[in-house]
């Protein structure tokens, strides 16, 4: 199959250079960072308001949607893996089915979230246990943004499919369009019209709907879908459907564990007061920026591994490990140094409330440490996802969650919020260590490289 000229070419049976890897990874990094930049702008905009409960309200509201949508994050991850494998084997039909199967799941879950929005909101507010002011702002945010649920999940499929095809520039264009629109509307609705939390939520809703329409236009122009050749029974074919569902099940359970940690982390911070909750929310936004940066390398490695499996190219498979490790550790060093030097300035971009800024700056050491554990698990998860061997990701994060529970129990009574952040870092380190232990089993499970 002949790819479009804008696609990133991955030549089978040939060395893959650092330059080629960066050509693939850099647009993915830019696209990935645009997502937490959006959350950072949301936080920074409401951080200009005089009461920290505005930051807390957006933080809790965002947590609810992160919980909902991250549970369905497999729609992007598995779509990338299956699509890249289909392209590696030059299977046009399977590439189209790799888009249609998760698209159906996205629409169904989006409608479901809208139907059960009230119990979701009530349960979330009860579990977090924030103050009345924070809860009121969170309810306002949720009640507006929930109507974008089907569109958000569809965007996961669109972006995952484009990335799997190596059309990283189209994926980047789609994500940048959504996030730039959201940022512009944030500034207009909140700082211009004074809509507050409702303005932040409305900006996100409009950008989510617009992004799906824009993404579908990009896919249509790419001319890579062959829907006219597809019949319903092909979408429901048992063997590939069951394989997709098993991978998605394991990625779902992985996300359940990750969100369990995040909910507990946020709830513990909320129990320490609004100022601590606001400071932790700012640090989490910085953490997301770093994590999504590493996610760009992870996505690049996922594409390489998927193509390697589809084309049975063992050299490309091995090269994915080397390149992602090299660029991951180099990025970790650079980012850690940048935070050490510019951390206080970055925090000042998020809030003008002096007490919140002071507490946040005192906790920056954890963001200096994070890159050295963050790059490792991101690299490994990208490789395992590209191989569509998600059960190892599932198993490793379950073990890491046990480490987080133990660390919470040991360190929060001793060090309070610093103990909470120590538990967070140990959780990330445990994810990396446990998944690394499964690497020898990965090649054996793939099977296509056996002579």
Residue carrying the six token digits 């139907």: 115
Under 8 Å CB-to-CB from 145, ≥6 apart: which residues?
61, 65, 201, 204, 205
**Helix 197-222 vs helix 52-71: angle between axes, to the nearest 10 degrees?**
30
Residues 174, 177, 183: CA angle, nearest 5 degrees: 140
Instruction: Check if the beta carbon of residue 390 is closer than 8 Å to that of residue 251.
Output: yes
Q: How far out from the chain centre does Cα 143 lie?
A: 23
What is the pLDDT at residue 3? 40
Instruction: Check if the beta carbon of residue 81 is closer than 8 Å to that of residue 306.
Output: yes
Query: What is the per-residue pLDDT across 414-434, written as a single tens digit (0 to 9) for each?
Result: 998 999 999 999 999 999 999
User: Which stretches in the chain have pLDDT values below 70?
Assistant: 1-15, 32, 34-40, 43, 48-51, 130, 222-226, 228-230, 232, 236, 445-451
What is the pLDDT at residue 15? 61
pTM: 0.76
Distance CA 28, CA 22 (A): 9
What is the pLDDT at residue 223? 67
What is the pLDDT at residue 448? 56
Distance CA 277, CA 273 (A): 6
Distance CA 281, CA 294 (A): 20
The 10 Å CB-count burial string (b at 16+, else e) for 78-100 is bbbbbbbbbbbeeeeebbbbbbb
**Helix 197-222 vs helix 18-46: angle between axes, to the nearest 10 degrees?**
150
Query: What is the per-residue pLDDT across 314-359, written as a single tens digit (0 to 9) for each?
Result: 888 888 888 989 999 999 999 999 999 998 888 888 877 889 899 9
What is the pLDDT at residue 101? 85
From the list 346, 237, 207, 359, the residue with the least C-alpha distance to 290 is 346
What is the pLDDT at residue 4? 43
Structural tokens at position 271: 């129990």
């Amino acid at each position: 199959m002949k790819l479009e000229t804008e696609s990133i070419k991955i030549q089978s049976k040939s060395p893959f250079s650092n330059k080629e890897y960066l050509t693939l990874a850099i647009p993915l990094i830019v696209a990935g960072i645009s997502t937490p930049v959006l959350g950072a702008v949301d936080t920074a905009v409401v951080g200009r308001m005089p009461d920290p409960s505005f930051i807390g309200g957006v933080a809790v509201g965002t947590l609810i949607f992160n919980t909902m949508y991250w549970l369905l994050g497999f729609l992007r991850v598995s779509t990338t893996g299956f699509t890249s494998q289909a392209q590696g084997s030059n299977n046009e039909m399977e590439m189209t089915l790799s888009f249609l199967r998760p698209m159906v799941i996205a629409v169904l879950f989006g409608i479901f979230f809208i139907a059960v929005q009230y119990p979701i909101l009530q349960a979330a507010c009860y579990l977090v246990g924030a103050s009345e002011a924070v809860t009121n702002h969170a309810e306002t945010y949720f009640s507006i943004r929930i109507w974008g649920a089907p569109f958000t999940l569809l965007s996961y499929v669109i972006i995952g499919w484009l990335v799997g095809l190596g059309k990283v520039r189209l994926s980047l264009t789609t994500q940048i369009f959504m996030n730039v629109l959201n940022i512009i509307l944030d500034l207009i609705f909140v700082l211009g019209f004074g809509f507050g939390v409702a303005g932040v939520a409305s900006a996100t809703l409009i950008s989510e709907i617009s992004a799906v329409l824009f993404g579908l236009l990009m896919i249509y122009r790419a001319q890579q879908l062959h829907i006219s050749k597809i019949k319903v029974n092909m979408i429901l074919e048992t063997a590939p459907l069951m394989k997709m569902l098993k991978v998605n099940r394991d990625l779902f359970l992985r996300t359940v564990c990750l969100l369990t940690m995040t909910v507990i982390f946020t709830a513990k911070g909320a129990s320490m007061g609004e100022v601590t909750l606001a400071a932790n929310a700012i640090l989490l936004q910085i953490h997301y920026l770093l994590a999504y940066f590493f996610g760009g390398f992870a996505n690049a490695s996922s594409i390489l591994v998927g193509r390697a499996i589809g084309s049975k190219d063992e050299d490309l498979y091995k090269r994915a490990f080397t390149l992602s490790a090299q660029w991951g550790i180099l990025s970790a060093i650079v980012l850690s140094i940048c935070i050490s030097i510019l951390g206080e300035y970055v925090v000042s971009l998020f809030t003008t409330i002096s007490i919140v800024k002071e507490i946040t700056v005192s906790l920056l050491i954890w963001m200096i440490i994070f890159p050295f554990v963050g790059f490792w698990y991101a690299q490994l998860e990208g490789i395992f996802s590209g191989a569509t061997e998600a059960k190892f990701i599932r198993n490793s994060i379950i073990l890491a969650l046990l480490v987080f529970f133990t660390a919470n129990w040991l360190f929060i009574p001793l060090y309070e919020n610093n103990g909470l952040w120590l538990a967070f870092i140990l959780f990330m380190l445990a994810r990396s260590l446990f998944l690394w232990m499964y690497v020898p089993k990965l090649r054996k499970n793939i099977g296509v490289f056996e002579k």
